[in-house]
Amino acid sequence: VAAVITLTTDFGTRDPYVAEMKAVILRLNPAVRLVDVTHDVAPHDVIEGGLAVETIAAVCARGTIHVAVVDPGVGTGRRGLVVAAGGQLFVGPDNGIFTAILALPDRQIFELRAPAYRLSTVSDTFHGRDVFGPAAAHLSLGVAPTSFGPSVADPVRVGWAASRQVGGGVEGEVIRVDRFGNLITSIDANTVERLSRAGGPVTVRVAGRRMPLVRTYGDLAAGRAGALVGSHGRLEVAVREGSAAARLRAGRGATVRLSRSTRTSMSSGRRRS
Amino acid sequence: VAAVITLTTDFGTRDPYVAEMKAVILRLNPAVRLVDVTHDVAPHDVIEGGLAVETIAAVCARGTIHVAVVDPGVGTGRRGLVVAAGGQLFVGPDNGIFTAILALPDRQIFELRAPAYRLSTVSDTFHGRDVFGPAAAHLSLGVAPTSFGPSVADPVRVGWAASRQVGGGVEGEVIRVDRFGNLITSIDANTVERLSRAGGPVTVRVAGRRMPLVRTYGDLAAGRAGALVGSHGRLEVAVREGSAAARLRAGRGATVRLSRSTRTSMSSGRRRS
Amino acid sequence: VAAVITLTTDFGTRDPYVAEMKAVILRLNPAVRLVDVTHDVAPHDVIEGGLAVETIAAVCARGTIHVAVVDPGVGTGRRGLVVAAGGQLFVGPDNGIFTAILALPDRQIFELRAPAYRLSTVSDTFHGRDVFGPAAAHLSLGVAPTSFGPSVADPVRVGWAASRQVGGGVEGEVIRVDRFGNLITSIDANTVERLSRAGGPVTVRVAGRRMPLVRTYGDLAAGRAGALVGSHGRLEVAVREGSAAARLRAGRGATVRLSRSTRTSMSSGRRRS
Greater confidence, B103 or A260?
A: B103
pLDDT at C160: 82
Q: With 0-12 CB in 10 A as exposed, 13-18 as middle and 19+ as buried, what is C141?
A: middle
Q: How far apart are CA B61 and CA A137, in angstroms?
A: 15
CB C256 within 8 A of CB C234: no
Largest separation between any pair of C-alpha atoms in chain B:
68
CA-wise closest residue to C57 among C25, C12, C98, C24: C98
pLDDT (mean) for A25-35? 96
Inter-chain touch A26–B61, beta carbons under 8 Å: yes
CA-wise closest residue to C52 among C107, C101, C4, C125: C101
pLDDT at C262: 60
Q: The pTM is what?
A: 0.91
User: What share of chain C has pLDDT > 90, as a percent?
Assistant: 80
Q: How far apart are CA A233 and CA A175, in angstroms?
A: 13
pLDDT at A223 over 80: yes
Count the alpha carbons within 13 Å of C99 in the hemisphere toward its beta carbon: 17
pLDDT (mean) for B211-221? 90
C contact set with B (CB within 8 A): 2, 4, 6, 8, 13, 33, 35-40, 52, 55-56, 59-61, 64, 176, 178-180, 215-219, 228-231, 236, 240-241
Q: How far apart are CA A34 and CA B201, in angstroms?
A: 43
The residue count for chain C: 273
Quote the minimal CA–CA distance from B164 to chain C in Å: 32
Inter-chain touch B26–C35, beta carbons under 8 Å: yes
- Residues C45-102: tens digit of each pLDDT: 999 999 999 999 999 999 999 999 999 999 888 999 999 999 999 999 999 999 999 9
Chain B residue with Cα closest to A124: B216
Q: How far apart are CA B209 and CA B265, in angstroms?
A: 10
Which residues in chain C are closer than 8 Å to B13, comparing Cβ atoms?
13, 36, 38-40
In sequence order, which residues have a C-beta less than 8 Å from that of residue C85 and are 6 or more positions away?
Answer: C101, C102, C104, C106, C107, C108
CA-wise closest residue to A88 among A111, A65, A109, A110: A65
pLDDT at C260 over 90: no
Chain B residue with Cα closest to C189: B123
C contact set with A (CB within 8 A): 10-20, 22-24, 26-27, 30-31, 43-44, 72-76, 78, 123-126, 129-130
Residue B76 pLDDT class (50, 70, 90 cuts): confident
CB B227 within 8 A of CB B204: yes
Question: C239: which strand partners?
Answer: C225, C242
Q: How far apart are CA B259 and CA B250, in angstroms?
A: 19
Point out the residue among C16, C26, C43 whose CB comes nearest to the CB of A38: C16
Give which of C11, C13, C14 to mutate to test A binding, by max A Cβ within 10 Å.
C14
Q: How far apart are CA C113 and CA C135, in angstroms?
A: 10
Per the prediction, chain A carries an average pLDDT of 92
pLDDT (mean) for A142-154? 98
- What is the SS3 assignment for A263? helix
Inter-chain touch B74–C218, beta carbons under 8 Å: yes
pLDDT at B167: 85
- Residues A237-249: tens digit of each pLDDT: 999 989 999 999 9
Q: What is the DSSP letter of A262?
A: P
pLDDT (mean) for A120-144? 96
pLDDT at C1 over 80: no
Q: Is the dihedral of CA B26, B27, B30, B32 positive or negative?
A: negative
Question: C55: which strand partners?
Answer: none
CB B192 within 8 A of CB B202: yes
| Radius of gyration, alpha carbons of chain A | 21
Inter-chain touch C2–B31, beta carbons under 8 Å: yes
Per the prediction, chain B carries an average pLDDT of 92
Per the prediction, chain C carries an average pLDDT of 92
Residue B262 pLDDT class (50, 70, 90 cuts): low
Quote the minimal CA–CA distance from B228 to chain A in Å: 9
Which residues in chain B are closer than 8 Å to C240, comparing Cβ atoms?
72
pLDDT (mean) for A149-154? 98
A contact set with B (CB within 8 A): 10-20, 22-24, 26-27, 30-31, 43-44, 72-76, 78, 123-126, 129-130
Residue B271 pLDDT class (50, 70, 90 cuts): very low
Residue A21 pLDDT class (50, 70, 90 cuts): very high
Inter-chain touch A23–B13, beta carbons under 8 Å: no
Chain B residue with Cα closest to C7: B19
pLDDT at C47: 93
- Residues B18-36: tens digit of each pLDDT: 999 999 999 999 999 999 9
pLDDT (mean) for B35-59? 95
Greater confidence, B268 or C111?
A: C111
Q: First vs last Cα of chain C: how many Å apart?
A: 53
Inter-chain touch A20–B56, beta carbons under 8 Å: yes
Inter-chain touch B11–C179, beta carbons under 8 Å: yes
Residue A266 pLDDT class (50, 70, 90 cuts): very low
Point out the residue among C30, C124, C130 whose CB comes nearest to the CB of A33: C30
∠ CA A220-A224-A230, nearest 5°, is 55
Residue A167 pLDDT class (50, 70, 90 cuts): confident
Chain C residue with Cα closest to B12: C179
How much of chain A is in helix, strand and coil states, percent to nearest 5?
A: 25, 30, 45
Count the alpha carbons within 13 Å of A271 in the hemisphere toward its beta carbon: 5
Q: How far apart are CA A57 and CA A104, in angstroms?
A: 12
User: What share of chain B has pLDDT > 90, as a percent?
Assistant: 79
Provide φ and ψ at A26, rounded to 5°.
Answer: -70, -25
Provide φ and ψ at B239, rounded to 5°.
Answer: -120, 130
Q: Is A142 left (phi over 0), alpha (psi -120 to 50) or beta?
A: left
Q: What is the DSSP letter of A42?
A: P
pLDDT at C248 over 80: yes
Instruction: Map chain C to HEC letters.
Output: CCCEEEEEECCCCCCCHHHHHHHHHHHHCCCCEEEEEECCCCCCCHHHHHHHHHHHHCCCCCCCEEEEECCCCCCCCCCEEEEEECCEEEEEECCCCCHHHHCCCCCEEEECCCHHHCCCCCCCCCHHHHHHHHHHHHHHCCCCHHHCCCECCCCCCCCCCCCEEECCEEEEEEEEECCCCCEEEEEEHHHHHHHHHCCCCEEEEECCEEEEECCCHHHCCCCCEEEEECCCCEEEEEECCECHHHHHCCCCCCEEEEEECCHHHHHHHHHHC
∠ CA A143-A149-A150, nearest 5°, is 130
B97 residue type, one letter: I
CB A81 within 8 A of CB A150: no
Instruction: Map chain B to HEC letters.
Output: CCCEEEEEECCCCCCCHHHHHHHHHHHHCCCCEEEEEECCCCCCCHHHHHHHHHHHHCCCCCCCEEEEECCCCCCCCCCEEEEEECCEEEEEECCCCCHHHHCCCCCEEEECCCHHHCCCCCCCCCHHHHHHHHHHHHHHCCCCHHHCCCECCCCCCCCCCCCEEECCEEEEEEEEECCCCCEEEEEEHHHHHHHHHCCCCEEEEECCEEEEECCCHHHCCCCCEEEEECCCCEEEEEECCECHHHHHCCCCCCEEEEEECCHHHHHHHHHHC
- Residues B109-137: tens digit of each pLDDT: 999 999 999 999 999 899 999 999 999 99
Q: How far apart are CA C252 and CA C185, in angstroms?
A: 9
Count the alpha carbons within 13 Å of B136 in the hemisphere toward its beta carbon: 37
Provide φ and ψ at C227, rounded to 5°.
Answer: -120, 150
Q: Alpha-carbon dihedral of residues C141, C142, C148, C154, nearest 10 degrees? A: 120
User: What share of chain A has pLDDT > 70, as a percent?
Assistant: 95
Count the alpha carbons within 13 Å of A146 in the hemisphere toward its beta carbon: 0
Q: What is the DSSP letter of A217?
A: G
- What is the SS3 assignment for A163? coil
Q: How far apart are CA A23 and CA B58, in angstroms?
A: 10
The residue count for chain B: 273
Q: How far apart are CA B85 and CA B62, in angstroms?
A: 10
Provide φ and ψ at A195, rounded to 5°.
Answer: -70, -40
The residue count for chain A: 273
Q: How far apart are CA B258 and CA B213, in angstroms?
A: 9
Strand pairing category for B183-188 and C164-166: unpaired
pLDDT at A99 over 60: yes
Inter-chain touch B23–C180, beta carbons under 8 Å: no
- Residues C154-209: tens digit of each pLDDT: 999 998 888 999 988 999 999 999 999 999 999 999 999 998 888 778 899 999 99
Inter-chain touch A76–B13, beta carbons under 8 Å: no
Strand pairing category for B80-85 and B108-111: antiparallel
In sequence order, which residues have a C-beta less than 8 Å from that of residue B172 and are 6 or more positions away?
Answer: B161, B162, B163, B164, B185, B186, B187, B235, B255, B256, B258
B269 residue type, one letter: G
Inter-chain touch C13–B12, beta carbons under 8 Å: no
Chain CA centroid to CA B209, Å: 27
CB A49 within 8 A of CB C16: no
Partners of chain B (3+ Cβ pairs below 8 A):
A, C
